A and B are shown apart, each in its own frame.
Chain A
Amino acid sequence: MKIAMVGNPNVGKTALLNLLTGGKFEVGNFPGTTVEKKEGKTKIDGKDVIFVDLPGIYSLEAYSLDEKVAKDFLTNENPDLILNVVNASNLERNLYLTLQLVDFKIPMILVLNMIDEAEKRGIKVDAEKLSKILGIPVVRTVAVKGIGIKELKREILKGGSVPRVRVGKDLKSKLEMAEKIVKEVVKVEKKRVDLTEVFDEVFMDRHLGIPIFIAFMWMMFTFTYTVASPLTNLIDFVFSTLSERISSMNGVVFNLIGKGIIKGVGSVLVFLPNITFLFIVLALLELSGYMPRAVYLMDRIMTAFGLTGRSVIPLIMGFGCNVPAVMATRTIEDDKVRIATILVNPFISCSARLPIYVLFAGIFFPTIGSAVIMGLYAFGVAVALISALIFRRVLLRGEAEYVIELPPYRIPNWKNVWILTWNRTKHFLQKAGTVILAMSIVIWFLTNFPTSSIDKSYAGMLGRLLQPLFAPMGWDWQFVLAILMGFVAKEVVVETLGILNTPIAKIMTMPQALAFMVFSLLYMPCLATLATIKAETGWKWTIFSVIYSFVIAYVLALTVEVVARLI
């Protein structure tokens, strides 16, 4: 049995999918968490069931990529049943999509989700009456708390019903019908003050909104950098000791394991606490519903730079990893805005770059490390916005509008915080076990052959060959080699310096370090991001992205070095 889960964005489809299948898909509290279809398999009373979670959509007009994905699935894949998940607090808008689904003549079940939030807001929905009008079963659920799931499973086994409601094919008659149904089944009685309104009054205050946002960002970086530091030191101690012990034994194999693999992988894993802490805060901000408010606050700024508020979610997601962030641009309807958002996304500092900042800030700015790191993140955002403006004025001209939906604030569910954090951390650990491990061996080989003297090794030759290109910044060849290797994955920059045993403080000045951090922030997207950009935009924009980011990184790093030296 194949079941399609369809609904507006942010109505809890993925939370429901996790409950029904025991899956661990990422759940958000902002529109656009799911941008491509996800599948979850399970057995209900011995019957095999495949759930397909489609991206959240407002209609089936197929203007944006996510709407197209949903429409194509319903048209071509012939699901046996549609689970139409709707938000009980906002029934009228949700029913518009329901009435479009009616046209497919596929058996349906209407899942009236988030009834707890609706009741808190004094909204009561008569589920029985709604079921009679639409001619399909209606199940009341609270997906995050597991309420109503047994009943939903029972109805799934019954197979739902083909809707009997009669409605015209045009937009106007569907909108009128949705309004009429809501008048019949929804009763609103204002009970008490809505906390969402209370928070919004302050978080979206004209004067205080942005200072509060900056205060939250500062707290995030303090938590990420300072609070995580004892754990970072502990992991560093463990890997250093292990590396020294093993490499002190005689033999090439021990040298490879100790100075190559353990030192290389360890130099990246040391930053696992920083990255995990960052992901925890991002998950809390996302699940609480604060993120879309950040979007709203930044909208005026975004518009000034030729983007729309819809670009903000992919940009914020870029702080975690640029790959899903580039994919998240699928929710942007305007193609030019979408391409501009993709092209500037690599300037948003992903978590893989954090180890570089932590390493260099720890050496050159030990007392103001958090401020330097926050400054780099802000610098990345500034470069992204200015680049967007240039793209929109020169290459991708046009006007764009959007509508953003502000979800209610919610106390983040710890299970969902864990799923979000773990899924992202797992990605980092997987990279450590694959790409970074492989690169450790490659770099070890380059540094130990044809001779074990680093100066005369392949690494030394390669670094020296490219070093003149970066001579204006005054970097030693070891840093140049690290940048070259970092193209595979940004964590490899730190890994390379670790394997090379680079005495950073001795061979680099503070202005050079600052320039190095800026260059690492901006130069070329990593291989995985490039592959995603290619898949989303094609070769032309991918090559453009590589060249543009390299030139920008080079010019700005050089400028930073010169200015810092003069100051």
Chain B
Amino acid sequence: MNAFVLLVVAITFLKGFIVRRKSYGFVASMIAVIFAILMTLVLLAVGSFSYGILGYLALPAFIWYRKNIEQT
């Protein structure tokens, strides 16, 4: 199911590129960051690693999209 969340994030990003709408990138990066926070908590709680932690990489994208959407 963790892979499912990552897949949803990836497809949402992809749809954003296809339809050229920033909203998809914004929401996808937001979900990626939320998931990364959750996976960090899981790592701390039970020591189980998930690649979902890499969702932090989407943080700059999230901040960028947030600014650009506000300015539009």
Residue of A199, A201, A215, A226 touching B45 (CB-CB under 8 A): A226
Query: Given contacts A193-B70, A215-B8, A229-B45, are A222 and B38 in contact (CB under 8 A)?
Result: yes
Contact across chains for A370 and B12 when beta carbons are under 8 A apart: no
A192 is an interface residue with CB less than 8 A from chain B: yes
List residues 171-221 of chain A with CB under 8 A from any CB of chain B: 192-193, 195, 198-199, 201-203, 205, 207-208, 211-212, 214-215, 218-219
Give A382 Cβ to nearest chain B Cβ, in Å: 18
B5 within 8 A of A: yes
Q: Which residue of B lies closest to A370 (CB)?
A: B1
Residues in chain B near residue A201, CB distance under 8 A: 21, 23-24
Q: Please tell me if A488 contacts chain B, counting CB pairs below 8 Å.
A: no
A44 close to B (CB within 8 Å): no
Chain A nearest CB, measured from B68 CB (Å): 10
Given contacts A218-B1, A227-B45, is CB(A208)–CB(B72) below 8 Å?
Answer: no
Do the beta carbons of A193 and B72 come within 8 Å of each other? yes
Q: Is the CB of B38 within 8 A of A219?
A: yes
In whole angstroms, how far apart are the Cα atoms of A108 and B4 in the complex? 54
A371 within 8 A of B: yes
In the assembled complex, which residues on chain B have CB atoms less than 8 Å from the CB atom of A212?
Answer: 8, 12, 27, 31
- Say yes or no: B15 contacts A208, CB within 8 Å: yes
Interface residue A487 (Cβ < 8 Å from any Cβ of B):
no
B69 at the interface (CB under 8 A from A): yes
Chain B 16-30 interface 0/1 with A at a Cβ cutoff of 8 Å (1 = within):
000001111011100
Decide if B62 is an interface residue (CB 8 Å cutoff). no
Contact A198 B46 (CB under 8 A): no
Would A226 and B46 be within 8 Å (CB), given that A198-B26, A201-B23, A219-B5 are in contact? yes
Query: When A192-B72, A195-B69 are in contact, do A230 and B27 touch as well, CB less than 8 Å?
Result: no
A202→B71 CA distance, assembly (Å): 19
Q: Is the CB of A218 within 8 A of B42?
A: no
In the complex, A370 Cα to B12 Cα: how many Å? 24
| Complex alpha-carbon distance, A123 and B22, angstroms | 25
Task: State the interface size on chain B (CB cutoff 8 A).
Answer: 29
A226 (CB) vs chain B CBs: closest residue: B42
A292 to B20, CA, bound (A): 27
* Contact call B27/A219, Cβ cutoff below 8 A: no
> What are the residues of chain A within 8 A of B11 when measuring CB–CB?
208, 211
Report the bound CA distance from A370 to B64 in whole Å. Answer: 34
- A484 and B41 alpha carbons, distance in the complex (Å): 38
With both chains docked as a complex, state the minimum distance between the C-beta of A196 and any C-beta of chain B, in angstroms. Answer: 11
In-complex Cβ contact of A211 among B8, B24, B45 (8 A): B8
* Cβ–Cβ < 8 Å partners of A371 in chain B: 1
A229-B4 in contact given A193-B72, A202-B27, A215-B31 (Cβ < 8 Å)? no
Tell yes or no: A223 within 8 A of B by CB: yes
Known: A198-B26, A215-B4, A215-B31. A222 touches B69 (CB 8 A): no
Report the minimal beta-carbon distance from A549 to chain B, rounded to whole angstroms.
29
A192 to B72, CA, bound (A): 6
Question: What residues on A are CB-neighbors of B42 within 8 Å?
Answer: 222, 226-227
- On chain B, the residues within 8 Å of A229 by CB distance are 45-46
Q: Which residues of B contact A195 (CB under 8 A)?
A: 69
CB < 8 Å neighbour of B69 from A193, A208, A215, A230: A193
- Shortest A222–chain B CB gap in Å is 6
B1 contacts A374, CB within 8 Å? yes
Closest chain B CB from A372 CB (angstroms): 11
Q: Complex Cα distance A371/B1, Å? A: 8
B27 touches A199 (CB 8 A): yes
With A202-B12, A227-B41 known as contacts, the answer to whether A215 contacts B46 (CB < 8 A) is no
Contact residues in B for A219 (Cβ distance below 8 Å):
5, 34-35, 38
In the complex the two chains form, what is the Cα distance from A195 to B30 in whole Å? 13
- Chain A proximity of B71: nearest CB distance (Å): 8
State whether A198 touches B35 (Cβ < 8 A): no
Contacts of A374 in B (CB 8 A): 1
Residue numbers in A under 8 Å from B15 (CB-CB): 205, 207-208
Interface residues of A in 213-251 (CB under 8 A from B): 214-215, 218-219, 222-223, 226-230
Query: CA A360 – CA B21 in complex, angstroms?
Result: 45
* Neighbouring A residues of B21 by C-beta, 8 Å: 201
Contacts of B45 in A (CB 8 A): 226-230
Q: Mark B37-69, 1 if CB is under 8 A from A, else 0.
A: 010011001101000000000000000000001
B1 to chain A, nearest CB (A): 5
Q: How far is the CB of A323 from chain B (nearest CB, A)?
A: 30
B70: shortest Cβ distance to chain A, in Å?
6
B64 CB, min distance to chain A CBs, angstroms: 14
Contact B70 A208 (CB under 8 A): no
Q: A374 to B2: give the CA distance in the assembly, Å.
A: 13
Q: A198-B27, A199-B27, A208-B12 are known contacts; what are 17 more A-B pairs with Cβ within 8 Å? A: A193-B69, A198-B23, A201-B21, A201-B23, A201-B24, A202-B12, A208-B15, A212-B31, A215-B8, A215-B9, A219-B34, A222-B1, A222-B38, A223-B38, A223-B41, A227-B38, A228-B45
* A residues neighboring B (CB under 8 Å): 192-193, 195, 198-199, 201-203, 205, 207-208, 211-212, 214-215, 218-219, 222-223, 226-230, 370-371, 374
* Interchain Cβ contacts under 8 Å between A and B, 7 examples: A202-B12, A202-B28, A214-B8, A218-B1, A226-B42, A230-B45, A371-B1
Report B's interface with A, CB cutoff 8 A: 1-2, 4-5, 8-9, 11-12, 15, 21-24, 26-28, 31, 34-35, 38, 41-42, 45-46, 48, 69-72
4 closest A-B pairs by CB = A202-B27, A198-B23, A215-B5, A201-B23
